[in-house]
Amino acid sequence: MTQSSDGGSFHLNRPGLRKLLGDHEADVMQAIWERGPVGVTVREIHEALAGKRDVAYTTVMTIMGNLAKKGLLRAERVGKAHVYYATQTYDQFTETAVARIVDELMRDFAAPAIAHFQRAIRKERP
């Protein structure tokens, strides 16, 4: 595992966004990104996730607080509630995370990383 841009770990064997975030964090961020650049409350995200998995409201609240501490969400107090905003789009987040992973590979394993990237690029081109 390597550190990703949010301070978490990179998990090779997990699919998609779960390579860069934990399972619950990935679900929360995906639900937020699906809503676009609008603010969301813990309740809204909890309701969105409740249809997919059994998750407690307090768990979602803790996850969103942790994501704010990591800088992936920004929180604003509105009345008694907090409204959360993604600090990056999905594309910005994945670009930053992938860049950091590639930079780490290049720093420690430049020759084999370049060789593999060249082979991978050749496979992708028709």
Q: Tell me what percent of the residues of the chain surpass a pLDDT of 70.
A: 93
In this structure, which amino acid lies at residue 50? Answer: A
The predicted structure's pLDDT at residue 1: 36
pLDDT at residue 96 greater than cutoff 80: yes
Q: At what angle do helices 57-69 and 42-50 cross, to 10 degrees?
A: 120
| pTM of the predicted structure, to 2 decimals | 0.82
pLDDT digits (tens, 9 = 90+) for 24-78: 999 999 999 999 899 999 999 999 999 888 999 999 999 999 999 999 999 999 9
d(CA 28, CA 55): 11
Q: What is the pLDDT of residue 9?
A: 74
Task: Return the pLDDT at 125.
Answer: 73
